[in-house]
Amino acid sequence: MIPVEELQRSAGAVSTGSDTSALPSKAMNGKTSNGHPPKATNGATNTNWRRRSKYRHVEAYHSRVRHSSLSREPNVTASFLGFRNLMVIVLVAMNLRLIIENFMKYGVLICIRCHDYRKQDVVLGSALFALVPFHLYVSYLIELAAAKQAKRIVGQKKKDISTEVNEREQRIFKNTWWISAFFHCLNTLLSLGITSFVVYFYVHHPGIGTLCELQALIVSFKICSYAFTNRDLREAMLNPSVESALPEIYASCPYPNNITLGNLIYFWLAPTLVYQPVYPRSSHIRWSFVAKRLFEFFCLAVFIWLLSAQYAAPVLRNSIDKIAVMDIASILERVMKLSTISLIIWLAGFFALFQALLNALAEVMRFGDREFYTDWWNSSSLGMYWRSWNRPVYLFMKRHVYSPLVGRGWSPLAASTVVFTLSAVLHEVLVGIPTHNLIGVAFAGMMFQLPLIILTAPLDKIQDPSGKVIGNSVFWISFCLVGQPLGALLYFFAWQAKYGTVSRM
Site residues for its own copies, 98-137, by CB under 8 A, read: 100-101, 103-104
Buried b / exposed e over 29-45, threshold 16 CB at 10 Å, is eeeeeeeeeeeeeeeee
| By CB under 8 A, residue 23 contacts its own copies | yes
**Least gap, CB of 470 to its own copies (angstroms):** 9
Considering only the C-alpha atoms of the chain, give the largest distance between any 2 of them, rounded to a whole number of Å: 128
For its own copies, the closer CB: 9 or 115: 9
Q: How many CB atoms lie within 10 A of CB 95?
A: 14
H-type alpha helices, 107-205: 119-131, 134-159, 163-202
Regarding 63 and contact with its own copies (CB under 8 A), the answer is yes
Instruction: Give the residue numbers annotated as catalytic, written as ranges.
Output: 427
Q: Would you count residue 250 as binding its own copies (CB under 8 A)?
A: yes
How far the first Cα of the chain sits from its last, in Å, is: 73
The yes or no reply on residue 351 touching its own copies (CB under 8 A) is yes
Which span (114-122, 148-156, 335-343, 421-429) binds its own copies, by CB under 8 A? 335-343
Binding flag, residue 43, its own copies (CB under 8 A): no
Residue 34: which of 8, 14, 64 has the closest Cα?
A: 64
What residue type is 228 in one-letter code? F
Instruction: Name, in order, each residue with C-beta under 8 angstroms of 491's C-beta and a sequence gap of 6 or more.
Output: 431, 432, 435, 437, 439, 441, 442
109, 172, 190, 246: which one contacts its own copies (CB under 8 A)? 246
Least distance (Å) between residue 98 CB and its own copies: 9
Q: Which is nearer to its own copies, 5 or 116 (CB)?
A: 5
Q: Which residues pair with 367 in a beta bridge?
A: 281
Site string for its own copies, 446-485 (x = CB under 8 A): --------------x--------x--xx--xx--xx----
Pick from 90, 110, 285, 291: which binds its own copies (CB under 8 A)?
90
Instruction: For the beta carbon of residue 472, count every other beta carbon within 10 angstroms.
Output: 18
Residue 64 binds to its own copies (criterion: CB under 8 A): yes
* Cis peptide bond upstream of 133, omega within 30: no
> Does 232 contact its own copies by CB under 8 A?
yes
Quote the CA–CA distance of 152 and 364 in Å, as a whole number. Answer: 37
Q: Report in angstroms how near the CB of residue 74 gets to its own copies at its nearest.
A: 14
Number of shown-chain residues binding its own copies (CB under 8 A): 153
Residue choice 112, 114, 164, 243 for contact with its own copies (CB under 8 A): 243
Of 465 and 500, the one with the shorter C-beta distance to its own copies is 465
Q: Which of 64, 54, 3 is nearest to 24 (CA)?
A: 54
Task: Give, as ranges, the residues between 374 and 433 that touch its own copies (CB under 8 A).
Answer: 374-379, 383-384, 387, 395, 398-400, 402-412
Closest to 319 measured CA to CA, from 491, 185, 464: 491
Enclosing H/E stretch for 14 = none
**Residue 70 vs 161, nearer CB to its own copies:** 70
CB-CB neighbours of 400 under 10 Å: 19
Q: CA 98, 100, 101 angle in degrees (round to 5)? A: 60
Q: Which amino acid belongs to residue 48?
A: N
Which CB, 100 or 123, lies closer to its own copies? Answer: 100
Chain centroid to CA 380: how far? 15
What's the CA gap between 87 and 468, in Å, rounded?
Answer: 21
> Smallest gap, in angstroms, from Cβ of residue 137 to its own copies?
21
Q: Which one of 193, 240, 280, 440 is in contact with its own copies (CB under 8 A)?
A: 280
Chosen residue from 195, 263, 310, 340 binding its own copies by CB under 8 A:
340
Stretch that binds its own copies, among 107-115, 126-134, 196-204, 350-358 (CB under 8 A): 350-358
d(CA 249, CA 263): 15
Least distance in Å: CB of 330 to its own copies? 7
Count of beta carbons in the 10 Å neighbourhood of residue 440 = 13
- Judge contact between 427 and 446, C-beta under 8 A: yes
Instruction: Let me know: does 297 contact 356? Beta carbons within 8 Å.
Output: yes
Stretch that binds its own copies, among 8-16, 192-200, 488-496, 497-505 (CB under 8 A): 8-16
CA dihedral 102, 106, 107, 113 (to 10 degrees): -110
Spatial contact of 220 and 273, defined as CB atoms under 8 Å apart: no
Select the residue interacting with its own copies from 94, 130, 131, 306 (CB under 8 A). 94
- Which of residues 274, 313, 357, 365 is near its own copies by CB under 8 A? 274
Q: Applying CB under 8 A, which of residues 193, 240, 368, 458 lies at the interface with its own copies?
A: 368
Smallest distance, its own copies to C-beta of residue 168, A: 11
Of 128 and 142, the one with the shorter C-beta distance to its own copies is 142
60 CB-near residues (< 8 Å, 6+ apart) = 31, 33, 34
Rule CB under 8 A: say whether 148 interacts with its own copies. no
Would you put residue 375 in left (φ > 0), alpha (ψ -120 to 50) or beta?
beta
Q: Which stretch binds its own copies (CB under 8 A): 195-203, 347-355, 422-430, 487-495?
A: 347-355
**Footprint of its own copies on 164-223 (CB under 8 A):** 170-171, 174
- Using CB under 8 A, pick the residue from 47, 55, 201, 299 that binds its own copies: 55
Question: How crowded is the C-beta side of 356, counted as CA atoms within 13 Å?
Answer: 18
Question: Which residue of 13, 86, 110, 141 would you call a contact of its own copies, by CB under 8 A?
Answer: 86
List 96, 122, 299, 302, residue binding its own copies (CB under 8 A): 96
Nearer to its own copies, 339 or 423 (CB): 339
